Chain A
C-alpha cells in the first residue's frame, strides 16, 4: 500500500518548457488536491477534484492545468513554465466521508526549479 505517490520528485526546467506532474493514490479516495508550498506562503491550493472526471480551481490556478481521467490519478500540467512556478508541489488525497471529513494524505512532494 503505497499511499500517495508523486513523480518526478525533482525537476529542473527552462522558461517556456512544459511538463506534467503525476499523482497516484491507491486508497480509492474521491478527493485529490494539488498544492504549492513556498517559503512564508504556506500551502496554496492550485486545483482540486472531488471525483473522477471533475476538477475545480483553487487559490492560484493560473499557469496550471489538471486532469482526473482515472480516479486514482491526478495530473498537474505546466504548459509554459515560468520562474515564478519554482516551488515544492504537494499532491494529496482524502476520502469523501459522509460528513465531509477525512484525513488528507500527502505525497512526498516534487521540487520544481524553473530557470
Chain B
C-alpha cells in the first residue's frame, strides 16, 4: 500500500522567511497530491493540491512542486506570517485501476511556527 513520508516534523521560521516541507510517496500509481492545514483544535482544510500531470502549481504565497520520477513533492510558503503557524499535512491518492484506488494517505505532519 501507499506510504507517505513527510519532513521535517517541526519547522520554526521568522516572519517573512520562506518555509519548505517535503514529502515522498511509495506508490507510483498515486496521481493526486493535496496539502492540508490544521490549526489548533480545528479540522484540517485543503490549502493547495497538484495532479500528477502538472509539475508545479502556485496560489499567492504558497506553491507546490511535484517530481514524479523521484516520487516526491514539496510545499513552499513565502513571506511567512504568524497566522501561517499550524500543522501541515501532505497526502497522496491512489488512482483508478490501482490497488489503492480512492485511498487517501497522509504524511505524519509538520508543525510550522512563525515567530513575529
Contact = CB atoms under 8 A, between A and B. Distances in A.
A27 interface: no
B95 A59 contact: no
Contacts of A99: 31-32, 51
Given A42-B109, A43-B89, A108-B43, A103 B34 contact: yes
Interface string A61-102: 000000000000000000000000000001010101001110
B93 A42 contact: no
B43 A42 contact: no
A100 B107 contact: no
Contacts of A58: 103, 105
24 contacts: A35-B106, A42-B106, A42-B109, A43-B44, A43-B109, A44-B106, A45-B106, A48-B102, A50-B101, A56-B102, A56-B103, A58-B105, A59-B1, A94-B104, A99-B51, A100-B31, A100-B93, A100-B101, A100-B102, A101-B49, A104-B34, A104-B46, A106-B45, A109-B43
Interface of B: 1, 6, 9, 31-32, 34, 36, 43-46, 49, 51, 89, 91, 93-96, 101-109
Given A42-B89, A48-B103, A100-B32, 9 more contacts: A31-B104, A43-B89, A43-B106, A45-B104, A59-B1, A90-B43, A101-B51, A101-B93, A103-B46
